[in-house]
């Protein structure tokens, strides 16, 4: 990354942390062009898309991270949350289970439990 690209990335990180995802995405546009194979760039874009409820785009960004780095447990967690928000619970559970197996953080375990409970509730209602 060039200095300008790196600074734009840092500004986008700050904007995401301030819950200003649309502004972050504007900063990231050039960064993605300059560093199309950088998992960190796609991960940040995914977080911004998720923060702005652009769920399909978030899903694509997290899948790109996983193409580049299949061992990224946070990308799996974020993808699981994205799928959950789309109502795709079985797919979400798979990603959350993988994230939890890679790194059993309480946040990951709670998300997995939540999705598992929603699946169980849905199955109970269907029977």
Residue 113 near residue 125, CB atoms below 8 Å: no
**Model confidence over 52-77: pLDDT tens digits?**
999 999 999 999 999 999 999 999 99
Domain ranges of the chain: 3-126
**Domain 3-126 CATH class label:** mainly alpha
**Per-residue pLDDT tens over the stretch 36-57:** 999 999 999 999 999 999 999 9
Whole-number pLDDT of residue 8: 95
Burial of 102 (0-12, 13-18, 19+ CB in 10 A): middle
What is the pTM assigned to this prediction? 0.93
Take residue 99 and report the two structure tokens written for it: 């994230």
């Amino acid at each position: 990354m060039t200095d300008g690209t790196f600074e734009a990335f840092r500004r986008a990180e700050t904007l995401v942390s301030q819950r200003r995802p649309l502004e972050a995405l504007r900063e990231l546009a050039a960064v993605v062009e300059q560093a199309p194979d950088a998992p960190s760039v796609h991960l940040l874009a995914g977080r911004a898309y998720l923060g702005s409820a652009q769920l399909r785009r978030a899903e694509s960004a997290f899948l790109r991270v996983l193409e580049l780095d299949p061992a990224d447990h946070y990308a799996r967690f974020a993808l699981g949350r994205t799928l959950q928000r789309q109502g795709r619970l079985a797919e979400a559970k798979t990603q959350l289970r993988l994230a939890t197996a890679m790194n059993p953080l309480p946040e990951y375990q709670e998300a997995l439990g939540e999705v598992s409970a929603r699946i169980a509730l849905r199955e109970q209602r269907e029977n």
